[in-house]
């Protein structure tokens, strides 16, 4: 039962990441691409957690929390650059 649920979840998240990449390539404006990148890193955290469940190890949670923190910082930096024209004033 767990194997089937893991396969379903992995396929759904891979399809979600494919849709994010499509919006990242298509997006008509800069905030659309930024939103696509933001969703892409959130989905990659889910993918890494599912990989840790698949391989039955706890090694990947540090990678997941690093991706979470650095993705948030990167999104805020690009937002501030688009809003103010400068990141650190």
Partner 1 sequence: MNLYLLAEAVVAFLLVAGGIFAFTGSLGMLQFKDFFMRLHGPTKGTTLGIGCTLIASMLYFTVTQGEFHVQELLITLFLFITAPVTGHMLAKTGLHMHLRFTTGTRGSVPEFRDEDVGQSRVARPAKARHPWRSRRQKRRGRLPR
Least Å distance, CB 52 to partner 1, is 7
In order, the DSSP letters of 29-80 are SHHHHHHHHHHHHHHHHHHHHHHHHHHT-STTHHHHHHHHHHHHHHHHHHHH
Nearer to partner 1, 29 or 86 (CB): 29
Least Å distance, CB 10 to partner 1, is 8
CA pair distance 47, 60, nearest whole angstrom: 10
Per CB under 8 A, 86 contacts partner 1? no
DSSP reduced 3-state for 12? helix
Region 14-43 residues binding partner 1, contact defined as CB under 8 A = 15-17, 19-20, 22-23, 29-32, 34-36, 38-39, 42-43
Per CB under 8 A, 63 contacts partner 1? no
């Amino acid at each position: 039962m767990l194997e089937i649920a893991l396969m379903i979840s992995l396929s759904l998240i891979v399809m979600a990441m494919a849709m994010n990449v499509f919006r990242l390539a298509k997006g008509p404006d800069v905030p659309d691409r930024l939103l696509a990148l933001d969703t892409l890193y959130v989905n990659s955290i889910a993918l890494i957690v599912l990989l840790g469940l698949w391989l039955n190890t706890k090694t990947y949670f540090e990678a997941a929390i690093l991706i979470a923190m650095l993705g948030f910082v990167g999104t805020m930096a690009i937002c501030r650059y688009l809003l103010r024209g400068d990141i650190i004033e």
